[in-house]
Structure 1
């Protein structure tokens, strides 16, 4: 399948673009690996925050391939997550942040009465629909070493030493107490935390 566009979702707070260097690194890596474009984009030069963006939390969504296709701005409202449903796909591939999320949306439709999904691939935990995840054991937080998409917030937290990578097998989930869901829009401090036993 041809994926014509990829995108970055960048958090904007107090009219400041957050973790921009991580988004820039992923975007430039994507353009090089998917399409062979060697030029390096400096996002701080390419993105101009419009006057309509206020001091609240906003989402900047930048779609691109060879060039920037579009940039959209919208106020951000946090989702409420009370229950998670595990779903399964043995071959799903979302190693780049494709605009085409049809496979992921099909999995999300299997959530029953849950608010979120936890995607299992070949017995290993990957991600939720929109978030990377981490699990607590003995005071340490571990994030799967097998994410579908290594997120920018995940990279930031790994660099800061707040989380560690580990192979997390579905069969071993019960050894963890908590699950935390985070992404570019949801900082570690504001990330939802649920008991692992609430994963259906």
Structure 2
């Protein structure tokens, strides 16, 4: 039995757990595919919001493998992103939300003076350090079909028709005008939207 930990980061706002069905689906898929468990966890039953959590935005971080390892609650502070640095890795694998993010952190250390990275794998655009990404040609928003980790916010946006999936190579980047970065904690409405030339 592997003792690898995975985790879910769930946005809590006004004491409400956001997009819970998407987190629950990914958590149960992770448990099934990594460890062979067939039982279904209900996050609404497993997570009790502490009385100390107020109406501000909080991050609920649930670490698990065969059982829940721990649940942590932290106030959420938005990051400021002004410039993005392209970085490259031919074999990085983050297909499950592993607690061990050593490879990702090593790539982040290559960002020079930038605030964020855009990871290119075998010529294809994937993700940033913490976010999925989408690109606009001025009319529609497209998210790469090659993410390192398909996020819960990404799944929600695809299901809602707000973004579409497309193959996006590094060579395609100049075709776009804008990039947005989003994740479970950063809704589409609050996602940083930057000009494509902010990607170094």
Q: TM-score, normalised by structure 2?
A: 0.98
Question: How many angstroms apart in 1 are the aligned matches of 2:113 and 2:167?
Answer: 28
User: Where does the alignment leave 5 or more consecutive residues of structure 2 unmatched?
Assistant: none
Offset at residue 3 of structure 1 (A): 6.1
State the aligned residue count.
199
- For the pair 1:131 / 2:148, whether they are aligned, the reply is no
Offset at residue 138 of structure 1 (A): 3.5
Residue 51 of structure 1 corresponds to 51
User: Where does the alignment leave 5 or more consecutive residues of structure 1 unmatched?
Assistant: none
Offset at residue 139 of structure 1 (A): 1.1
- For the pair 1:28 / 2:28, whether they are aligned, the reply is yes
**Contact 2:13–2:55 (8 Å) recurs in 1:** yes
Residue 4 of structure 2 corresponds to 4
Question: How many angstroms apart in 1 are the aligned matches of 2:46 and 2:110?
Answer: 39
Question: How many angstroms apart in 1 are the aligned matches of 2:42 and 2:177?
Answer: 41
- For the pair 1:97 / 2:97, whether they are aligned, the reply is yes
Alignment RMSD (CA, Å): 0.7
**Contact 1:3–1:98 (8 Å) recurs in 2:** no
Residue 161 of structure 2 corresponds to 161
Instruction: Extract structure 1 runs of 4+ deviating beyond 2 A.
Output: none
Offset at residue 4 of structure 1 (A): 1.0
Measured against aligned partners, the alpha-carbon deviations of 1:97-156 in whole angstroms (never above 9, x if no partner) come to 000000000000000000000000000000000000000014100000000000000000
Residue 175 of structure 1 corresponds to 175
Q: TM-score, normalised by structure 1?
A: 0.98
